[in-house]
């Protein structure tokens, strides 16, 4: 992967900061100009590249939402710094990403691996799922409407007839042998499969999973904190777009840190959870570290077997059994 001019840009910015405390811009030997790292950059210092303006706007919105949702102030400040850095760039973010990938975005002063991945997602897909989650707007109909040729009516049919919530689930359902969607013929199904496959290829190219996961004791501890604080009504709430016709801010959201991990916890606001009255039982935990990459797990109350009545992490039941057999006090 090519390094591009960004290494020179960062080095030049560092040199200027040490030499004269410069408050202007730093010209690199390449073709990128960034604001000096010794003073806060002002939004709009760089050229008005549409993707840069969009990314800076999205980063600032994420910072405001995180601040309102009582997240770590340092994380809020990091998003704001990154927004200023992106706004001050004199090179199109899309061009930077096309030339050097996520590594090149990571080398922009003020942007680390986590935000670099977000910028890559915006550059490739025009969306940032993390921000949509903070807004409460991430839902299957919005996701499916982003597929070329799929409008609101078809998105609803796909969701309701195939019982799917994500692009990955939709892809799997469309490849089932006897798949049928009302009003869609064989040829259009084939086109839809191809479109979904292409979208997922783009998404997978910029989204990474963490190399490891928090241990089950930690996940259960975050679940406990979320449910306790949600019941006590001490958490901020957001207004999810789905299953919320009145637009009420009813869904509690928790941001918390455990060691190297940052967690966002929410009740499951899926069709299935509402259908079987499990919204306030199923808790979805999203987690990432500063190294980048995000994953999620769902914690539920087990209804069968040796763990019946206990909270378990779906997909890691055997680990949960070990935790309950040998409880620890160091989950934090």
- pLDDT given at position 285: 94
Q: Terminus-to-terminus CA distance in the chain, angstroms?
A: 38
Q: How confident is the model at residue 164 (pLDDT cuts 50, 70, 90)?
A: confident
Altogether, the residues listed in the chain come to a count of: 332
pTM here is 0.58
- Decide: 323 and 220 in contact? Cβ < 8 Å: yes
Which residue from 160, 73, 75, 162 is spatially nearest to 114, judged by alpha carbons?
A: 75
Q: Per-residue pLDDT tens for 227-286?
A: 999 999 999 998 887 788 888 889 999 999 999 899 999 999 887 888 899 999 999 999
Q: How confident is the model at residue 311 (pLDDT cuts 50, 70, 90)?
A: very high
Compute CA distances 93 → 52, 96, 119, 269, whole Å.
6, 5, 8, 34
Fold of 140-206: DNA polymerase; domain 1 (1.10.150)
Mean pLDDT (the chain) is 78
Fold of 6-124: DNA polymerase; domain 1 (1.10.150)
Q: What is the DSSP letter of 307?
A: G
- pLDDT given at position 215: 93
Q: What would the two tokens of residue 100 be?
A: 């050097």
For tokens 């560092």, the residue is 14
Instruction: Using DSSP, state whether 297 is helix, strand or coil.
Output: strand
Torsion of CA 46, 117, 163, 237, to 10 degrees: -70
What value does the mean pLDDT take over residues 39-61?
70
For tokens 């990403």, the residue is 97
Q: Which of 112-116, 152-156, 310-314 has the highest mean pLDDT?
A: 310-314
Report the percentage of the chain scoring pLDDT > 90.
27
C-alpha atoms less than 13 angstroms from C-alpha of 325 in its C-beta half-sphere: 7
Q: What would the two tokens of residue 216 be?
A: 């089950």
Which residue from 296, 266, 265, 267 is spatially nearest to 168, judged by alpha carbons?
A: 296
What value does the mean pLDDT take over residues 170-197?
85
For the chain, give every residue range classified as CATH 1.10.150.110: 6-124
Tell me the helices (H) and strands (E) count for the chain, helix number first.
13, 8
Q: Per-residue pLDDT tens for 86-103?
A: 988 888 888 888 888 888
d(CA 103, CA 112): 10
Based on the number of CB atoms within 10 Å of its own CB, is 129 exposed (0-12), middle (13-18) or buried (19 or more)?
A: middle
For tokens 């808790």, the residue is 283
Examine the pLDDT at 20 and tell me if it is beyond 60.
no
- pLDDT given at position 210: 64
Residues contacting 244, CB < 8 A, separation 6+:
250
Cβ count within 10 A of residue 297:
19
d(CA 128, CA 62): 10
- Decide: 263 and 222 in contact? Cβ < 8 Å: yes
- pLDDT given at position 152: 86
d(CA 200, CA 253): 28
d(CA 269, CA 231): 17
């Amino acid at each position: 992967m090519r390094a591009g001019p960004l290494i020179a840009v960062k080095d030049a910015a560092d040199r200027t900061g040490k030499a004269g405390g410069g408050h202007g811009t730093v010209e690199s030997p390449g073709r990128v100009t960034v604001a000096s790292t010794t003073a806060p950059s002002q939004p709009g210092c760089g050229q008005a590249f549409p993707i840069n303006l969009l990314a800076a706007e999205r980063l600032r919105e994420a910072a405001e939402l995180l601040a309102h949702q009582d997240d770590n102030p340092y994380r809020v400040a990091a998003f704001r710094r990154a927004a200023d850095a992106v706004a001050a760039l004199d090179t199109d973010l899309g061009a930077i990403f096309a030339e050097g990938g996520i590594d090149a975005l990571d080398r922009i002063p003020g942007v680390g691996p986590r935000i670099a991945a977000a910028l890559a997602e915006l550059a490739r897909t025009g969306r940032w799922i993390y921000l949509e989650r903070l807004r409460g707007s991430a839902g299957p109909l919005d996701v499916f409407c982003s597929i070329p040729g799929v409008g609101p009516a078809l998105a609803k049919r796909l969701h309701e007839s195939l019982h799917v919530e994500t692009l990955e689930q939709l892809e799997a359902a469309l490849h089932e042998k006897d798949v049928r969607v009302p009003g869609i013929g064989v040829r259009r199904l084939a086109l839809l499969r191809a479109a979904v496959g292409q979208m997922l290829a783009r998404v997978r190219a910029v989204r990474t999973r963490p190399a490891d996961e928090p241990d089950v004791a930690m996940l259960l501890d975050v679940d406990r904190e979320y449910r306790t604080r949600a019941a006590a009504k001490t958490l901020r709430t957001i207004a999810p777009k789905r299953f919320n016709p009145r637009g009420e801010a009813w869904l509690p959201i928790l941001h918390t840190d455990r060691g190297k991990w940052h967690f966002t916890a929410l009740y499951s606001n899926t069709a299935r959870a509402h259908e079987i009255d499990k919204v306030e039982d199923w808790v979805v935990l999203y987690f990432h570290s500063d190294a980048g990459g995000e994953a999620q797990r769902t914690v539920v109350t087990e209804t069968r077997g040796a763990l019946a009545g206990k909270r378990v992490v779906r997909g890691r039941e055997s680990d949960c059994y070990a935790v309950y057999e040998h409880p620890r006090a160091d989950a934090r």
